[in-house]
Structures are given as structure tokens and as C-alpha cells.
Chains A and B, each alone.
Chain A
Amino acid sequence: MTRARRDAWFFIGAGILILYSVFLLYPLISLLAKSLIDGSGNVSWANFHKFFSRRYYYGAVINSLKVTAAVTVLSVAAAIPLAYIMNAVKIRFAGAVQILILISMVSPPFIGAYSWILLAGRNGVVTNFFKSAFGLKLPDIYGFGGIALVLTLQMIPLVFMYVSGALKNVDSSIFEAAESLGCGNVRKVTAILVPMIMPTILASGLLVFMRALADFGTPMLLGEGFRTVPALIYNEFMGEVSTDKGFAAAICVMVVIFATTVFIAQQYVSHRKSFQTSALNPIEPQKARGARNILAHLYVYTYVVLAMAPQCYVVYTSFLNTSGRLFVKGYSLESYRVAFSKIGNSITNTIFLAAVSLVIIVIIAILTAYITVRRRGTVASVLNITTMFPYIVPGSALGIALLLTFNKPPVLLSGTAAIMILSFVIRRLAYTVRSTAALLQQVSVSTEEAAISLGASQMKTFFRVTLPALLPGVFSGAVLTWITILTELSTSILLFVATTRTMTVAIYTEVLRGNYGTAAALSTVLSMITIASLLIFYKLTGNKEITM
């Protein structure tokens, strides 16, 4: 269908565009407007002036930039060898390793931070062990180094998934050709593999960058004196001492501009470096010998231990006796009893919010992807650009934009479940549209043309031919969306009220109060729910692939 006509799809597209305008563009414009109004209600650059005049403020941006850049570079650098080894070398227990990597990806980022405090914090087990056994003082887990470490470990699986996906499309004959031309093992990776999968590396790098930039929990728990932007925004907006909403808006605008610059740069670079590859003979894991084999196993297992040990320790501590805020000898389920007495309805809240969001996301994403991939015309191209927006709006900025815009009648959303759902939908929709669009490109247009040539209407073609081909892929993408929403913190922390408290918010609050036992119990429950979701998905589909 090369002609854009005023048919059903035109109206669906226009409808989605209106939703985007009201719930995304309008709040962003309000945010910009708010940032340009100073304390006395006049239009001025005062907020921006304030931002650049004090190191306390712009320093946070420099800190965010440092952490984000370090995390992006480190996680990509660590994940590429990991993905290559897992795909090219036979690793013992590879299946279990795959699942552990997936689990470490779906666990909430700030629980990682919290568990590292338990292990290597001031009173952590590892810290104490080294102190008493060797009299050694370990490097501090707090501040830049700790945040970078925790976030890097958190992001590696994400890059790993992307790069593994790209590797499956690389034909092994390309490596054989390289070998036959006398190319060694290292050069095979640096000269052949990395350039070939560069678009994927850049795409996953961008994703890591945006996530690390937006991450709220980790720097809040580990930052201490090291302040990053999401924390700054939160304090300016929600702070107990004094709040300055215009100023918080100005910081959000700065972050959005910053993220947009990075996004455009990434798009520019990756558009110039894309290759068509498809694999008739995908790379098969080969048995390695000698030092190569040992190094490969060492690399993979080291990562898995680093990623999983803290999580396991959290589960372990959840069964310890506590006395006030301290862990004491002996085991019991006391933490769980306290946790369930405090948690109220946050489990049901979390599941309800995530389920409603998921349904909305899947429906809108499928329709949007169809329009952007298959249709031409103004609506389709505007929609295509609009769906990109959430990529460049960090969670805290979106949260504040929504709060500032929908805080009074006629659209009073703050404090409702609707505003939480809205934020989840907007944040996650961009990814789901993207992955659905990629799936749709795999569905050949001629199948749809065949249906139309056989007299099916456009809608009938969509529901009977296109949708059935898309659903399995959409379903596997939905699992990740579901888990991402379950573990979301940086927007929920701004938007929640007592009646819409989610599990992540509850855990975060307990950690801040120092109730480590309760927090551990809650984290364990949340981890069990995410792992159970994954297992149910595997069971239902027999699928081993998760798409982003």
C-alpha cells in the first residue's frame, strides 16, 4: 500500500498522534514553559542562570556525565567479549549461565546497589572479613567508583542480549574466510566482528547511556557526597527543606537537551555504519583447548559471580534474625512477617499497574508500529518521530513534566493510578514500538498483498494475516516490558502516593530507613515474582529468546 488514503488506518494513526500530543508533547512543552518562569512569575532565564552559577548544581551534571560515560564504555567493553565467548566457545553449564545473565538483567538496579552495600559497604561482610583477617582496607564502594561498578554490572546483560542477537546473524563463513586469509583470533574480533555488529553496539550503547543517565536508585544509595542529576531533580522537586518547581523544570530541560544531543549523535553515526547481514550458517560454539578454554570459562564465571553474589546475599540476609536494624545470629522468617505487615497492598498495586500498562502498551505499540512501517504520508512520518521522544526524556524528567501538567482540573491526575500507568506506558512504549516495528519488517509485505489481492479488507488483512505473524514476537517483548515496569523506580518515586505505592518504592523506603532485613525480604519477593514471570513465559511459549 503505497498510497496514504483516509481509511481506517489514517484515523487510527491520527488518534494515536492526539494521545501522544496530549500526554507527551503537551507536558514537555509545559515543562519548558515552567522552566522559563522565575520565582516571581516573570519570564526569564533566571532558573538557568541559577543552574550555571553554582557548582553544587552544574557539578551534578558533570558527575552524571562522568558516571554515564564510564558505565557505557565499561559495560560495552565487558559485554562484547562475554557475548562472543558464549556464542563461539563451548562453556560448561552455558544454559544455566544464560538464565543467570537474564535474571541479573531483570533485577531492579537499586537492589544491586543495596546488596553491594551489604557486601562491601562500611559494615559489609567482605569489608569486615578483609579487615579482620588481613587488616586490609578495601576501596570504598561509595561514590563514583561504586556507582560505576554497580551500574556497569547491571548494564552488561543488556548489551550482552543485543550483541548476542547480532552475532546470531553473522555467518560463520565470514570468520572462516578471515581465518583462511591468515587472520588471528584477536584480530578476528577487532577487525571483522566488531565493525560488522557496530550498529548493534551503538544502539545498545545508547540504551545503556539513557538508562544510566536516568537511574535514580543507585546514586541515591551509593552516592553519598557524589550527587547526580536524577537525585538533584528529586531533591529540588520533592525536597523537605525548600522546593523550587521552576528550577527543577529547568534542570529537566537541561537533561533532555543533553540526552537529545547524544541521541542525535548516535543516530548520525549508526546510520553511516549499517550492514545487511543474514546467516545461513550461524556461529556454533566450538570446544576450545588449553589456556583459551580456561580464560573463556574464567571470564564468564567471574561475571556471573560478580552479578549474582550480591543478589544471593540479599536473599540470604532476608532469612536472618534482626534486632532493630542489625542482623544478628540465627535464622527466622521474622523479616518476611514484618515486610508483609508493612507492605500493605503494594504487591497488588504493582501487579495491577504493570498489567494495565502492559495491555495499553502492547495495543498502541502494534498499531503504531504498523503505521510507521507499512504506511506513507504525514501522519506516519510525524508518528515515527514522536514515538522516539520517550527515548530522550529520562524518567525523572517525564515524572515532573506529568506532575506539573496534570496537577489541576480539568485533568487532575497527580496522586492517581492513572498518572503512574501513563508514565509507565510512555516510558516503555518507545521500546515496544521499536521492537514491534523490527518484527513487522520481518513479515513480508507480499503476504499482506496476497491477502488484499484475494479480496480481504485492510482491517481483515491486519487481524488475520499480520497480527498472527507478529504475536509470538510481541509476546516475548511483552515479558521484558512487564518485568521492567515491575522493577521501575525513578518515575514511581516521584508519582506515588500512599494508595499507589509499588514494591520498588517500598523497598527503597525500607533501605533508606535502614530496615535492611525488611528490605531484603521485600527484594526477595520481588525477585521471585520476576523470575516466576520469566519461567511462566518459557513454559507457555517454549521460547528461549527474549526481545528487547
Chain B
Amino acid sequence: MSVAISIRGAVKRFGGVTVIPGISAEIEDGEFFTLLGPSGCGKTTLLRMIAGFNSIEGGTVSFNGNVVNDLDPGKRNIGMVFQNYAVFPHMSVAKNIAFGLENRRVPKDEIARRVDEIMRVVQIEAFRDRLPSQLSGGQQQRVALARAIVINPDVLLMDEPLSNLDAKLRVEMRNAIKEIQNKVHITTIYVTHDQEEAMAVSDRIAVLKGGEIQHVGRPQAIYQRPANLFVSTFIGRTNVFECELEGDALTLCGSVFKLTELDAGRLPPGRARVRASIRPEEFFITDGDGVRAVIDDSIFLGLNTHYFASLADGSRVEIVQESTIEEILKPGAEICLGVKQQKINVFDESGGLSLMKGVLGGDAG
């Protein structure tokens, strides 16, 4: 039985230091929900509050409406996967997986059946009697995952489970995790600092900074309509410009762009200074009108070519173009930059508030 999780004004203090001043989030039954943020943002702290390894100093955490604040971790029916796997080094793979079932006094033959089944799901049936020291990192992580899932937990908690794996294995394992989660359909809370990983696996992502949620939404919404400047710079790469906005006319380095996606209700009156975020791939090099720029350098990465260029006012921009068969532009070449206008994001001068339509709508998931 999977559960919906509701976090209401949860507070965490370590001694006198408040790490989480009060977080609220609703996680739906069966959802793959990711806590994403830079190190020290409180994501692991929050996960451990949900698991019960950290105490909760204020607010509530509830599973299906039942407050679990004071329930021991062992009684919350959670499955947890740790960053360093935390497989028991002295037990074989099968014994590791059976451990939770034995604690639940499941009959022996059923334990054997369920262990076999889950080993097939995570594809480690060949290593049944091996000790963890004889397994690779990826295999150990599969054991840890199997051990967490086999008890049919109400919620699966994963704390940076892939950060100890090498890049190639990380991609392979995150696909496996997503596939397994789809199959067993357990509410999953996943902590990571890797935004690409978060987008690959999540139904919804909560971006955290300084113990507060900056933006909750589907991966696409978070990438394309970030709630504030921090989210837009943390997720993916972007260029930020100081611009002026009057009505729907954005003036960027002398060129004027008409914007159609602005939220009229949030626009500042008259002519105002704003910040615009334009991602490298939202520029295109054009012969027609646009912002004048001079190429400084280029990097060829196969699929794409990255250009670094300077604008007339001295600001530097990064541009990504699909690689073409023609020659790569040389440093010193003068170009004209167009922008895919509906993709531009505009924020107020402090960067704290998006002026775009559809930002809040993205929450609905």
C-alpha cells in the first residue's frame, strides 16, 4: 500500500541553528518526487525527517493523513536507499534482501519467494550468494534497492543513491530506478544535487535553497518557466541580462523584443528595470534583425557547438547551435543573434519573482 505524504510547516533545528525554517509540500500517492538543490540546501535533512532519523521541531509530516512525527523509523514502513548503499557487509545478497522480511516475521517460504522475485526485478539473481565486497558499486546499489522495495514499503526514500557511481553507470541505474518505480508504483522521494538526473526520473521536482522550497513543478515547467532567477540559473545553463521592460516590449542591448507570454497582472508600471534569462539554445544566428555580437571562442561537442560571444555593451553570452556541416565560426566573426521569444523568461529586478504566465500553473503536475 503506497501513501500520499503531506508536509506542513516542518521545522528542523540543530542546536540553535535553524536549518529548515518551515517547509510545506504535498506528495501524491505513487508519485516520483525529487528534492533537488545545491549542497547544504536541506534536502537530505528533510528526507531524514520523513524517514524518522531526524527529529521534527515544528509542523507535521503525515502519511495518508496520519501524523508520523513521533513514530520510530522502523514503524513507518519505509524503504530507504542510502548514498553509500549501506548494504550489510557480512551478509550475502540474499540475506541482505531478506533482512527486512525476517523482521516482519514473514514465513520462510514466502521470504524465499519474494527475495527471488525482487532479485529478478532488479537483475541481481546471479549474485544471490555473494558478499557485498564481491560486487561492483552498481550491483551493490541494486541490492540496496531490492532490500528497500521487497518489504512493500509505503514510501521509498532515496538519498543521492547514484552519486557514488561513475557517469555511465549513473545513467543506466537511473533508468533502471525509473523503470522499477513504474513497475512497483510506490510513492518515492528522491534526493539529488544533479539536475539532469532529477529531470530524468521525476514526476515532479522541488528545488530547494537555504531550507526553503523555491519551485515545485514538473521537470518541463521548472526548466522552461522557472519561478525565480535562482531556479533558472540552477537548472541548466542560462544567460542573464539587465534589461528594460515597458508594457510587452523588452529592450535588450538596443534591440526590442515583443513578448507574448508575460503575466499582465504582475508587470511593473511604466518603464522598469528587469532581469531576463535566455538559455544558450534559445538564441539563433540570423542574417536579419537582432542583437549584434562578436564571436570570442567556440567548443565543438559533436551534437552541438557552443559559441562564446560579446555584445556591444560588453556582456558575454553563451550560444548553443546544432552542429552544421559548414565551417565553425572563427573568433572575431560578427554575427546577429535572434531569440526564440516565447522561451524568454523575465524576472523583476531582484530576480525573486517571475513575470511570466503559467509559472504557478506548472505546479499542478
Report which A residues bind B (CB closer than 8 A). 1-3, 444, 446-447, 449-457, 460, 464-465, 468-469
Whether B103 is near chain A, meaning CB under 8 Å from some CB there, is yes
A446 touches B103 (CB 8 A): no
Of B85-93, B167-175, B185-193, B352-360, the one with at least 4 CB within 8 A of chain A: B85-93
> Which residue in chain A gives the minimum CB-CB distance to B78?
A453
Q: Are B74 and A453 in contact (CB under 8 A)?
A: yes
A334 CA to B23 CA, complexed, in Å: 84
Within the complex, which residue of B84, B103, B104 is in contact with A444, where a contact is CB–CB below 8 Å? B84
A-B contacts besides A446-B86, A457-B103, 8 pairs, CB < 8 Å: A447-B87, A450-B88, A453-B74, A453-B148, A454-B100, A454-B148, A469-B89, A469-B90
Contact of B233 with A by CB under 8 A? no
A446 to B144, CA, bound (A): 11
- Of the candidate stretches B50-58, B250-258, B303-311, the one touching chain A is B50-58
Q: Is the CB of B73 within 8 A of A449?
A: yes
CB distance from A252 to the nearest CB of B (A): 40
21 example contacts (A-B, Cβ-Cβ < 8 A) are as follows A1-B53, A2-B53, A3-B55, A444-B84, A446-B84, A447-B88, A449-B51, A450-B80, A450-B87, A450-B88, A453-B73, A453-B157, A454-B79, A454-B147, A454-B151, A455-B74, A455-B151, A456-B74, A457-B103, A464-B99, A465-B88
Measured CA separation A400–B87 after assembly (Å): 49
Residue B83 at the A interface, CB < 8 A? yes
**Given the complex of chains A and B, what is the CA–CA distance between A455 and B147 in angstroms?**
12
Interface size class of B (residues with CB under 8 A): 20 to 34
Roughly how many angstroms separate A460 CA and B99 CA in the complex, as a whole number?
A: 11
Q: Are B86 and A449 closer than 8 Å at their CB atoms? A: yes
- Separation of A465 and B99 alpha carbons in the complex (Å): 10
CA distance A88 to B80 in the complex (A): 44
Given the interface contacts A3-B55, A447-B88, A460-B103, does A452 sit within 8 Å of B82 by beta carbon? no
Instruction: Take A2-B55, A455-B103 as given contacts and tell me if A446 and B82 are in contact as well, using a CB distance cutoff of 8 Å.
Output: yes
Q: Which residue of B lies closest to A7 (CB)?
A: B72
Known contacts A2-B55, A444-B86, A469-B89; A451/B99 CB under 8 A: yes
B73, A452: Cβ atoms closer than 8 Å: yes
Task: Among A447, A449, A454, point to the contact of B53 (Cβ < 8 A).
Answer: A449
In the A-B complex, list the 9 residue pairs whose CB atoms are closest, starting with the nearest.
A454-B100, A455-B103, A446-B86, A446-B82, A450-B86, A453-B80, A468-B90, A447-B86, A455-B74
Distance in angstroms between the alpha carbons of A468 and B100 in the assembled complex:
17
- A342 to B55 Cα, complex, angstroms: 65
Least CB separation from B72: chain A residue: A452
Nearest chain-A residue to B159 (Cβ)?
A446
Give complex CA distance A386, B87 in Å.
34
Interface residue from A2, A454, A457, A460 paired with B54 (Cβ < 8 Å): A2
The answer to whether A452 touches B74, judged by C-beta atoms less than 8 angstroms apart, is yes
B 54-78 contacts with A by CB, 8 A = 54-55, 72-75, 77-78
Please name all residues of chain B whose beta carbon is closer than 8 Å to the beta carbon of A449 when the two chains form the complex: 51, 53, 73, 80, 82, 86
CB–CB B51/A453 < 8 A: yes
- In the bound assembly, the distance between CA atoms of A368 and B89 in angstroms comes to 23
Bound: A1/B48 CA distance, A: 11
On whether the beta carbons of B84 and A451 are closer than 8 Å, the reply is no
Residue of A whose beta carbon sits closest to that of B100: A454
Q: A2-B54, A450-B80 are contacts. A457–B86 as well, Cβ < 8 Å? A: no
Chain A residues with Cβ below 8 Å from B82 are 446, 449-450
The chain A residue sitting closest to B157, CB to CB, is A453
Fill in one digit per residue for B137-155: 1 if any A CB lies within 8 Å of its CB, else 0. 0000000100110010000
The complex places the Cα of A453 from the Cα of B148 at a distance, in Å, of 9
Distance in angstroms from A439 CB to nearest chain B CB is 13
A-contacting residues, B9-58, CB 8 Å: 51, 53-55
Residues of B within 8 A of A1 (CB): 53
Classify the secondary structure of A's interface with B: helix
B78 cross-chain contacts in A, Cβ below 8 A? 453
Q: How far is the CA of A457 from the CA of B53 in the complex (A)?
A: 14
A-chain residues with CB within 8 Å of residue B53 when the two chains form the complex? 1-2, 449
CA distance A455 to B99 in the complex (A): 9
**Within the complex, what minimum Cβ distance (angstroms) separates A302 from chain B?**
41
Instruction: Please state if A453 and B79 are interface contacts (CB–CB under 8 Å).
Output: yes
Q: Which of A446, A460, A464 has the most CB of B within 10 A?
A: A446
CB distance from B78 to the nearest CB of A (A): 5
Q: In the complex, how many angstroms separate the beta carbon of B169 from the nearest chain A beta carbon?
A: 19
Which of A449, A451, A464, A469 is packed against the most chain B CB atoms within 10 Å? Answer: A449
B336 CB, min distance to chain A CBs, angstroms: 49
Contacts of B157 in A (CB 8 A): 453
The CA of A449 and the CA of B77, in the complex, are separated in Å by: 13
Q: CA–CA, A44 to B100, complex, Å?
A: 65
In the complex with contacts A2-B53, A444-B84, A449-B73, A455-B100 CB distance below 8 A: yes
Residue from A1, A446, A453 having most chain B Cβ neighbours under 10 A: A453
Chain A residues whose C-beta falls within 8 Å of the C-beta of B73 in the assembled complex:
449, 452-453
B63 → A minimal CB distance (Å): 14
Please give me the residue from chain B that is nearest to A468 by CB atom. B90
In the complex, what residues of B have CB within 8 A of residue A455's CB?
A: 74-75, 77, 100, 103-104, 151
Chain A nearest CB: distance from B156 CB in Å?
A: 11
CA–CA, A452 and B71, complex, Å:
12
CA distance A476 to B270 in the complex (A): 78
Q: How far is the CA of A48 from the CA of B114 in the complex (A)?
A: 74
Q: Which residues of A lie under 8 Å from residue B55 when comparing CB positions?
A: 2-3
- A399: min CB distance to chain B, Å: 41
Known contacts A2-B53, A3-B55, A449-B80, A454 near B88 by CB under 8 Å: no
- Of B77, B78, B86, B87, most buried by chain A (CB within 10 Å of CB) is B86
Q: Is the CB of A446 within 8 A of B90?
A: no
* Shortest CB distance B51–A (Å): 6
B29 nearest CB across to chain A (Å): 20
Complex contacts, A468 vs chain B, CB 8 Å: 88, 90
Between A447, A450, A456, A460, the greatest number of chain B beta carbons within 10 A of the residue's beta carbon is seen for A450
State how many angstroms separate the Cβ of B153 from the closest Cβ of chain A: 8
Kindly provide the distance from the CB of B152 to the nearest chain A CB, expressed in whole angstroms: 12
* Shortest distance between the CB of B340 and any CB in chain A (Å): 45
- Chain B's closest residue to A454 (CB) is B100
Chain B residue at smallest Cβ distance from A449? B53
Taking the closest CB of chain A, its distance from the CB of B265, in whole angstroms, is 45
A468 vs B88: C-alpha distance when bound (angstroms): 9
Query: Would A454 and B103 count as touching, CB distance under 8 A?
Result: yes
Query: Which residues of the other chain, A, contact B77 by a CB distance below 8 angstroms?
Result: 455
List of B residues within 8 angstroms of A465 by Cβ? 88
Choose one: B54, B75, B83, B99; the contact of A446 (CB below 8 Å): B83
- B residues less than 8 Å from A3 (CB atoms): 55
Q: Which residue of B lies closest to A461 (CB)?
A: B74
Q: Which A residue's beta carbon lies closest to that of B98?
A: A454
Q: Given the complex, which residues of A lie within 8 Å of B147, measured CB to CB? A: 450, 454
Report how far A455 CA is from B106 CA in the complex, Å. 12
Q: Bound state CA distance, A444 and B86, in angstroms?
A: 7
What is the chain B residue whose CB lies nearest that of A447?
Answer: B86
Nearest chain A CB to B2's CB is how many angstroms away?
16
Which residues of chain A are within 8 angstroms of B84 by Cβ–Cβ distance? 444, 446
On whether the beta carbons of A456 and B103 are closer than 8 Å, the reply is yes
Closest residue of chain A to B51, judged by CB?
A453
For A457, the closest partner residue in chain B by CB is: B74
Across-interface contacts of B80 in A (CB, < 8 A): 449-450, 453
- Given known A2-B54, A469-B90, contact A454–B74 (CB-CB < 8 A): yes
Scan residues 88-132 of chain B and give those whose CB is less than 8 A from a CB of chain A: 88-90, 99-100, 103-104
Chain B 191-214 per-residue mask, 1 if CB under 8 angstroms from chain A, else 0: 000000000000000000000000
Shortest Cβ distance from residue B234 to the other chain A in the assembled complex, whole angstroms: 27
Residue of A nearest to B81 (CB): A450
For the complex, what is the distance from the CA of A460 to the CA of B89, rounded to whole Å? 16
Q: Which residues does chain A contribute within 8 Å of B87, judged by CB atoms?
A: 447, 450
How many angstroms from the CA of A460 to the CA of B74 in the assembled complex? 12
Within the complex, the shortest CB–CB distance from B62 to chain A, in Å, comes to 18
